[in-house]
Structure 1
Amino acid sequence: MRQRARRACVACRRRKRKCDGQVPCRNCSDYEYRCVYEPTASRRFSLDESPRPAANTMPKPVGTDSQASPAFTNVEERAHRSPQSPARTRGFLDLLKSRYMNKESSVSFPRSLAVELQTSNLPRLHAFAYHAGVRGEPTFSPQHHLIDLITLVQVKRLLDIYESIIHPIFGFLEIDNLGRQCDAHWNGNAQGSAFEAIACGFITLASLFSDFLTPQVEATIVEHAKALLESPYPVSNPTVHWVMAWILRTIYLRATSRPYIAWMSSCTTMHVAESVGLHRSLHQVTVLASSGTNLLEQTIETRERTFQVARSLNLLISYDYGRSSINLGVSNARPLASRQNDFTTQICGLICGIAADDAASDTTSENTDLFLLLDKVSNAPAEHDFIVLTRAELALCIYRRLHHFGHILNEDKIDQIIEVGMPALEAARRLAAVGHPWWNVLSTVFHFICVLLSINSNKSLERVAEAVRTMEALAQYLGTHMAREAVQTAKDLVKAALDQRRKATQSLENALTGSAALGRSPNVEAFQDSDWNLFLQPFDQNYFESFADFPQQYFAEVAQQNLPDMAPNGI
C-alpha cells in the first residue's frame, strides 16, 4: 500500500493535488511554484529557511552565499515567486538528458507556456515541429571497437602517461574514475560511446607524447574518435563527457593538424559545452526536478574546470589564428580551486585574460587596451614550460596587433616583449629534449624571430642569433619536415633583413662619399676677374649672354671631380 505524505505544501493544498511532502515537492518543481509548508508544532519547512538538502541533492556551488538555499530549491523558488515579480532565470537544465535551453528558445517556450497556463500535462523539453519529419534521423554503426584496437594493459600505461604530462596543464578529467571505467569497459561492462570517445582522446594524446603506439594504430584510434564525435550520439544525448572528448580532440588537432581544423574543433567544443549548460551557473537556471538530482554525475568543480579549459583553448587558438572566438556571455569566470601539482588555474587565468579583446573587432584591437593587456600577460606567473611558451605566444599575438594598427612601441614595451620571449627559448629546448611536442615548442620560437626582426632595434637584433640557434636545435630534436621548413624560413627572413640593412648602410656610405667629393675646393682664382654685379641686375635680354664671359675652367674642374666618366674634355 502506498504511503501518503504526512504533510502537503500550500500550493498543492490550494490546488487539491497530491503532495509528496518533499522540499520542494514534485508538483511545485514541475510547475515552478513557490513550495512553502504551513508551520507545524515542530517547525516550519520552507525554501526561505534553506533546509538541509537530502543526500541525493545537488551540492551547493562553490563560492555562493552561505545563506543561499541549495542549488535546486533556490533556482526553482526564484523561478516562480509571483506573477508581479517573475524570476529571470536564463534557461532550463534537464539533468536527465544533460540538455540546456535558454528560456527564449523555441524548444523551451512550449514548456514555459504550459507553466503559465498551469496545465497538468507539462510538455517535455523537446523540439516539437522543428521540421516536417519526412526523413528519419540517420543511424550510426562504428567501424571499430576500442577494445579490439588496444589492450587494457596498454590503456593503463597510456593513462599514466597522460596523467603525468597533459593532465597537470589541462586538468579536467577525473583520472581515478576514468581508470575504474577502463577496467569495467575492457572486462565486458561497456561504459558507453561517450566514455569510448574520451578514452580515444587520452590514448592518442599520450601516444603522441610518448610514441607508445605505432602511427598506424594511433591514426586508427583518432579516426574512431572522430566517427564517435560526429555521430548522432552527442546530439541525441549531450553530456559533459562529450565536451571532455571534444577538448581532447582539440588538443590533439592543435598539436598535429592545420589551423583551420583546430579552430573549428575548438568552436565546436564551445557549442557542445553550451548545449549542456556548462556556461551557466546552476543558480542561473531552472533545473527540471523531474530529472532527479542524483543524475548529476559530475561535481560542480568538474563542470567548471571542463568549461574553463574548453574556453581557454578556443580563446588561445582563435587569438593566434586571427579568428573570432565563441562568446557565450561569460565575462568573469569563477577562479578554479587549486590542486597540488596542477597548473590548470594558471593556464586558464593567463589565457582568459585576453577575453576582453575580440580578435575580430578592430575597434577593441586599436585602442590602448592592448598595451594594458601586454602588461597583464607579461606579469602573469608561469611555473611550467608550456605556460612559459603560452605566455610568450600571447605576447607575440598582442605585438602583431599593435604592429598591424600602426602603434609605436616605446623602449619599455620592446623590453617587455624581449623579456617574455627569451625564457621561451630555453623552455622550448627542454620540452623538445624530453619529447613533448606541444604546438608552441616550435611556433613560439619561430614567431619570436619574426617579431625580433620586425622590431628592428639593436636590442632585438642582438637576440636573433640565439633564437635561430634554438630553432636549429629544435629541428635536430624533432627531425620533422615542419621543423626544417621553419628553420629555413627563419633564415630566409634573417637574410632579407640583413640585405635591407646592407642597402641602408650603402646609402649612408654613398652619402658620405658624395659629401667628401663636393667638399673639395675647386680653383676659385678664375672668379676674381668676373663681374658679379651681373647677378644682381634686373633680368633683361643680356642676362644669359653674360654667362659667355663666365670662366669655363670652373665648370670643367667641377665636372671632372664629380662625374669623371661623363665629363667632356671641355665645356
Structure 2
Amino acid sequence: MQPHKRKRARLACQPCRERKRKCDGSDPCVTCSDWGYRCHYEVYPRKPRAAKPTSPATHVEPHSSPHDTSGPATGGSDHSGLVRRLEANSGAAFVRKLGLKIDPAKAPKLNLFGWNIGARQLSASLQPTPLRLTEITSLGHMKELAQAYFTKVDPCYGFIDRHEFFERLEARWQSHVSAAIFDSVLAGVAAIGCLFSQKNPTMTEIHLTQTAVCCLDTHRLSGPPNIDLLTGWVLRSIYLRMTDSPYATWIASSTTMHLLEASGLHPEPSPDSVLPHGAKCDPDIRRRLVGVAHHLNVWTSFDLGLSRVSFQRNDLPTPPAPKAGDYTGEVLGLLPMSVSLDPGKSKDETDLTSALCTLLDGSHTQPPSVLAQCNLVLCVLRRIHTQNLDISSPVAGRVLQLLSNGLACARRMALDYSPWHQVANVPFQIICVLLTMDTRPSLAMLPEAMQTLSLVASTYDTETMREAYSAAYLLVFLHQKRRKDDLAIFGAALNCQNEKQFESPPHLDPASEEYSWLGALVADMPGLQRIDLDQFLNSEMMDPSTLLNGTTLLNGFD
C-alpha cells in the first residue's frame, strides 16, 4: 500500500507567500499562528454573475484583519494573536505566566503588583464629609501645597497655567463664594501637592480629595464641558493612578477621555462645521491637557487588558511647545509609540525591533520621563518575548543600560518623596524582565533591582508595596530553586558511581575533520555563533567541579 502523499494547499496565505514558507491553507494557518503573523489571503475577484439574495442567517462574513474596526474586537482569525498581545501588554498577565513557567504550584496570583505605591490611609478609619474649600485649610497652606505641585509634578504633566492658577486662588479666598467647578482644580492640585510633600497622609489631604470628587460628581452638564471641568478630571485621574486601584483609575481616565471628546478640544473641528467648537483656552494648554489624558488612558488600559478610548479620528494631539524647565514634551513624545502597541495591531519582528531601537535612541533627562521610557521599553520586550523573538547582544546591552538608569532614577524619586506610579511599577517589572531574559548580564542586575524595590517598599510602607516585594522575592527564589535542581541533575549525571570512571577527554581541535559537525551546528544555531569553541572544548572546561561551581552565583537570595 502506497503511503498517502502530502496534500498541497490550493491557496497559500500572503505572509507565507512573501516569506516562502509552507502553508496549510487554513485560516489562520499554522505557520502564522506560531510566528504571530497576521494571516490573510489575497482574494482575486472572479467574473461577476447573478447571485441569489441571501438571508441574514446564511450571510458569510469576509476575512477580517485585526486592523478592521467594523468587526467584533474578539472575533476573526487573529483571536489567539490578540490574546497573546493583550497578555504581553499587561504586566499582571506577564508576571502570572512567568511564575507558571518557573513553578506552576507556587506561582504568584494574577495581580498588578507594584502598580503604584498603594492607597494612602490614616491610621484611624475615618470617613470625612466634603467641606467647603476655604474650611479645609488656610490660603497660605494652599499656596505651599500648590508650590509643591508646580515644582515636582507640573514639569512632567504641564497642562495648567501657573500664573492664572495663583490669581484665581487668591480671588477664591477673597470672595468666599464657591467658584463651583474650579474648586475641583484647586483641591486637586493641593491634594497632589500633599502627596508629593508629605510622606504620610493627613486629614487635609483626605478632605481635599473628597471635596474634589464631590465637585466633579455633582456637576451638572448643560452643554459641552468647559476647561475647568476637564482639568479637574485629569487631576483626579493623576491622583488615582498614583494611589488607587487600576479599575478606579481606568474608569476615571475613560470618563475624562469621553468628556474631552464632548468638549470638542480633540479632534479639532473644521472651521466651517456647525458642530460645537472646543472650549476656549490656550492652544498649547489644550494640546498638553489632551496629551496627558490620552497618555493615562492608554497605559491604564494596557495594564488591565481593557479597551482604551479612541476618538472617531485617531490623530494624536500636536506635541506641546517646549518651555524652559518643562519636559512634558518628552513624556508625550512617547504617545505615538505607545498607541502603536495597541493589542489590536499585530507587529512582526522587524516592527518590534525597530520600535525598541527607536526608544533606546530617545533622549530623556528627568527621572519621571526616564521611567516612562523604561516602561515603554519593558512593554516592547514583553511583546518580543511573547512572540519568541530574539534581540542581538548589542541591543540587549543597551536595554540593560537603560534599565539600570531607570533603577537609579527610581531610587532618586523614592529618596525625594516623589511617589510617581513608575517608582514602584518599573522596578518590579524590571525584575520580571531580567528573569525572562535569563542571561548572565541580566541576572547580574537582579541584586540592584531587588534593592531598589526594597527601598521603595521601606519608604512607602503600604500593604501594596509589601505585597509587591514579596511577589518579586518569590519569583527570584523560585528561579534560584529551579537552577539548583538543574545543577543537582547535572551533578548526578557527571558523578554517577555505578558507571566506569572515564579519564578526561583529550583536547579537541574543532578545526579537524572529525569535529566538522560543530561548524554545521553553529551555522544552524545562530545563538552559538558568539561562543569561543576553542575555549568551550578545552579540557579544563570539562572538569565537573568547574561546571558545578556556578551554584555559588545563586546564593545571594538565600
Q: Secondary structure at the match of 1:354?
A: helix
Is 1:491 the counterpart of 2:478? The answer is no
Q: Please report the TM-score for the alignment, with normalisation by the length of structure 2.
A: 0.63
CA distance in 2, matches of 1:285, 1:262: 37
Given that residues 475 and 483 in structure 1 are in contact (C-alpha distance below 8 angstroms), is that contact kept between their aligned partners in structure 2?
Answer: yes
Alpha-carbon offset, residue 414 of structure 1:
2.8
Report what 1:449 is aligned to: 431
Number of residue pairs aligned between Structure 1 and Structure 2: 374
Is 1:193 the counterpart of 2:180? The answer is yes
Report what 1:253 is aligned to: 240
Given residue 348 of structure 1, which amino acid in structure 2 is its aligned partner? L
Does 1 or 2 have the higher relative contact order (CA < 8 Å, sep 6+)? 2
Q: Secondary structure at the match of 1:364?
A: coil
Given that residues 184 and 191 in structure 1 are in contact (C-alpha distance below 8 angstroms), is that contact kept between their aligned partners in structure 2?
Answer: no
CA distance in 2, matches of 1:220, 1:156: 16
Q: 1:346 to 1:249 in 2, by over 3 A?
A: same
Given that residues 279 and 330 in structure 1 are in contact (C-alpha distance below 8 angstroms), is that contact kept between their aligned partners in structure 2?
Answer: no
Q: 1:185 to 1:447 in 2, by over 3 A?
A: same
What are the superposed Cα offsets for residues 269-322 of structure 1, whole Å, 9 maximum, x if unpaired?
111110111112354662679x9xxx9641222212211111122123223333
Is 1:414 the counterpart of 2:401? The answer is no
Is 1:222 the counterpart of 2:209? The answer is yes
Q: 1:262 to 1:214 in 2, by over 3 A?
A: closer
Is 1:324 the counterpart of 2:329? The answer is no
Alpha-carbon offset, residue 194 of structure 1:
2.1
From 475, 482, 487, give the equivalent of 1:505: 487
CA distance in 2, matches of 1:365, 1:151: 54
Q: Which runs of 5+ in 2 are unaligned?
A: 1-128, 504-558
Given that residues 350 and 380 in structure 1 are in contact (C-alpha distance below 8 angstroms), is that contact kept between their aligned partners in structure 2?
Answer: no
CA distance in 1, matches of 2:445, 2:252: 36
Written as runs of structure 1 = structure 2, the 5 A alignment for 1:261-280 is 261-280=248-267
Larger gyration radius, structure 1 or structure 2 = 1
CA distance in 1, matches of 2:243, 2:233: 15
Q: 1:229 to 1:444 in 2, by over 3 A?
A: same
Given that residues 207 and 213 in structure 1 are in contact (C-alpha distance below 8 angstroms), is that contact kept between their aligned partners in structure 2?
Answer: no
Alpha-carbon offset, residue 266 of structure 1:
1.3
CA distance in 2, matches of 1:436, 1:160: 14
Q: Secondary structure at the match of 1:230?
A: helix
Given that residues 267 and 315 in structure 2 are in contact (C-alpha distance below 8 angstroms), is that contact kept between their aligned partners in structure 1?
Answer: no
Stretch of structure 1 that moved more, 248-257 or 277-286: 277-286
CA distance in 1, matches of 2:165, 2:352: 41
CA distance in 2, matches of 1:288, 1:487: 52
Report what 2:138 is aligned to: 151
Q: 1:187 to 1:454 in 2, by over 3 A?
A: same
CA distance in 2, matches of 1:405, 1:234: 47
Q: 1:403 to 1:427 in 2, by over 3 A?
A: same
CA distance in 2, matches of 1:288, 1:323: 30
Q: 1:441 to 1:288 in 2, by over 3 A?
A: closer
Given residue 227 of structure 1, which amino acid in structure 2 is its aligned partner? C
Given that residues 315 and 352 in structure 1 are in contact (C-alpha distance below 8 angstroms), is that contact kept between their aligned partners in structure 2?
Answer: no
Alpha-carbon offset, residue 520 of structure 1:
6.0
CA distance in 2, matches of 1:227, 1:407: 49
Q: Secondary structure at the match of 2:323?
A: coil
CA distance in 1, matches of 2:319, 2:456: 35
Q: Secondary structure at the match of 2:331?
A: helix
Given residue 242 of structure 1, which amino acid in structure 2 is its aligned partner? L
Alpha-carbon offset, residue 413 of structure 1:
4.0
Q: Secondary structure at the match of 1:517?
A: coil
Q: Which runs of 5+ in 1 are unaligned?
A: 1-141, 522-571
Report what 2:297 is aligned to: 314
From 327, 346, 349, give the equivalent of 2:330: 346
Q: Please report the TM-score for the alignment, with normalisation by the length of structure 1.
A: 0.61
Written as runs of structure 1 = structure 2, the 5 A alignment for 1:82-481 is 144-188=131-175, 190=177, 192-211=179-198, 215-234=202-221, 236=223, 238-283=225-270, 286=273, 297-328=280-311, 329-359=313-343, 361=344, 363-365=345-347, 368-481=350-463
Q: 1:372 to 1:325 in 2, by over 3 A?
A: farther
CA distance in 2, matches of 1:354, 1:331: 13
Given that residues 134 and 176 in structure 2 are in contact (C-alpha distance below 8 angstroms), is that contact kept between their aligned partners in structure 1?
Answer: no
Report what 2:61 is aligned to: none
Q: Secondary structure at the match of 2:466?
A: helix
Report what 2:43 is aligned to: none
Stretch of structure 1 that moved more, 238-247 or 250-259: 238-247
What are the superposed Cα offsets for residues 214-272 of structure 1, whole Å, 9 maximum, x if unpaired?
52231222122122222242465511221111111111001001111112211111111
Q: Secondary structure at the match of 1:407?
A: coil
What are the superposed Cα offsets for residues 414-469 of structure 1, whole Å, 9 maximum, x if unpaired?
32431221101110111111111111111111110111011111111111111112
Q: 1:500 to 1:342 in 2, by over 3 A?
A: same
CA distance in 1, matches of 2:362, 2:420: 20
Identity of aligned pairs, percent? 27
CA distance in 2, matches of 1:367, 1:194: 49
Given that residues 270 and 310 in structure 1 are in contact (C-alpha distance below 8 angstroms), is that contact kept between their aligned partners in structure 2?
Answer: yes
What are the superposed Cα offsets for residues 371-425 of structure 1, whole Å, 9 maximum, x if unpaired?
2222222222211101111111111122222223333344344324312211011
Given residue 150 of structure 2, which amino acid in structure 1 is its aligned partner? E
Q: 1:288 to 1:282 in 2, by over 3 A?
A: closer
CA distance in 2, matches of 1:378, 1:515: 52
CA distance in 1, matches of 2:372, 2:474: 25
Given that residues 364 and 373 in structure 2 are in contact (C-alpha distance below 8 angstroms), is that contact kept between their aligned partners in structure 1?
Answer: yes
Alpha-carbon offset, residue 342 of structure 1:
0.5
CA-based RMSD of the aligned residues comes to 2.6
Alpha-carbon offset, residue 331 of structure 1:
2.7
Given that residues 320 and 394 in structure 1 are in contact (C-alpha distance below 8 angstroms), is that contact kept between their aligned partners in structure 2?
Answer: no
Given that residues 335 and 345 in structure 1 are in contact (C-alpha distance below 8 angstroms), is that contact kept between their aligned partners in structure 2?
Answer: yes
Given residue 349 of structure 1, which amino acid in structure 2 is its aligned partner? G
Alpha-carbon offset, residue 150 of structure 1:
2.1
Alpha-carbon offset, residue 203 of structure 1:
0.8
